[in-house]
A and B are shown apart, each in its own frame.
Chain A
Amino acid sequence: MICWWVTPSPAFVEEMHELAITQSMFNLVLDEANKAKAKKVKKVNLVIGEMSGVVDDCVQFYFELFSKDTIAEKAELSFKKVPIQAQCKDCGEVFVLKEFDWACPRCHNSNIEIKTGNELYIDSIEVE
């Protein structure tokens, strides 16, 4: 019947999970630095949950590309990783999820609720 074909990306480029995330992060950093009338961004403090699957080295790599010749060039990236933490809904125990073992370590039930691990935000930036 009807079919439209949309190609928003102009070139065939291998892109990774972290590229779009780092681009958004970089844009936010520049935005906040400009609002603070900063001349230089020295450090970006990131909070990243383990559930996001973000690889620090990839973010670092892309950030260096994006920030070249900008006030954020050579800014240090700090990655505060948040583990996937759960709470047992039966006995209240709070614990970090281990690979393939998601039962409560105290009562061994699987009735758990994920509490942390999905974070992906900029906590602060350090500027001059």
Chain B
Amino acid sequence: MEVKVLKNILSANDQIAARNRELLDSKGIFTINIMSSPGAGKTSLLLETIKRLKDRFKIGVIEGDISSRIDADRIAQEGVPAVQINTGGECHLDANMTGTALANMPLDKINLLFIENVGNLICPGEFQLGENKKVLISSVPEGDDKPYKYPLMFHIADVIVLNKIDLLPYVRFNMENFTKGVKALNQNAEIIQVSCVTGEGLDKWVAWLLANVTRPAR
């Protein structure tokens, strides 16, 4: 006999993500999931963000990597609580791992949480973690065709940060083709062009954060 199911395959993950969100909401914490391919600039952007906003927000960071604590150590040097998750092979963070990390984060001492996902342009897009916003970092050296090759990530992002714009004179990158691809997949996502090396555009990124982080600072 046929049994109708009509259930999302990742509903179990979504349920845990909803519980993570309830916990974060109860603590007044706004959460941002930062995703990109390896090396596009997630940690760099976080470090620049912390430098600019640590007097306005009490920031915490969850770092997701397959192995090592390189990123969490760099974040911790800025005086911000950091929890490193090593997935041991899993190519993305999921809600269960995020829940484990939250249990180790001093939630009463933060009001803005960044989750730096594992570097990957495919899987993180599938797994809700309990975040309020999703940020996708794309970078100039990766090429302007990334929206066409990895549509899901560009489709679900709340904002796209195009990093390494200081390299535009040196690599082939067609901004019109990139923008067209993004706009076709995502009518609402703004593209913010930045360079974490020169600082260009970071004021616009900070402005986006200030406009979108809706939890009051404690």
Residues of A whose CB lies within 8 Å of any CB of B are 1-17, 20-21, 24-25, 27-28, 32-33, 36, 38, 46, 51-53, 84, 86, 97, 99-100, 102, 110-114, 117-118, 120-128
Contacts and interface: CB of A to CB of B under 8 A. Distances in A.
B155 interface: yes
A15 B91 contact: yes
Nearest to A28: B7
Given A5-B83, A5-B84, A122-B9, 15 more contacts: A2-B76, A2-B81, A3-B82, A4-B83, A8-B100, A9-B87, A9-B90, A17-B126, A36-B1, A52-B126, A84-B151, A120-B8, A122-B6, A125-B5, A128-B1
B5 A32 contact: yes
B86 A28 contact: no
A4 B80 CA distance: 12
B87 A24 contact: no
B8 to A, nearest CB: 5
B185 A3 contact: no
Contact of A110 (B76, B91, B104, B180): B180
Contacts of A86: 184
Contact of B183 (A11, A28, A110): A110
Interface of B: 1-13, 67, 69, 72-73, 75-92, 94, 96-97, 100-101, 104-106, 122-123, 126-127, 145, 148, 151-152, 155, 180-181, 183-185, 187
Contacts of B180: 102, 110
B148 A100 contact: yes
Contact of B7 (A12, A17, A36, A121): A121
B152 A120 contact: no
- The listed residue with most A CB atoms (<10 A of its CB), out of B2, B11, B122, B127, is B2
Given A51-B155, A102-B148, A123-B4, A21 B122 contact: no
Contacts of B81: 1-3
A112 B126 CA distance: 22
Given A51-B155, A102-B180, A3 B73 contact: yes
Contacts of B96: 8
A46 to B, nearest CB: 8
A83 B4 CA distance: 22
A6 B8 contact: no
Nearest to B75: A3
A8 B85 CA distance: 7
Given A24-B13, A100-B148, A124 B3 contact: yes
18 contacts: A4-B82, A6-B83, A6-B100, A7-B86, A8-B88, A13-B88, A13-B89, A17-B91, A17-B92, A32-B3, A36-B3, A38-B3, A100-B145, A102-B180, A110-B183, A114-B155, A125-B2, A125-B5
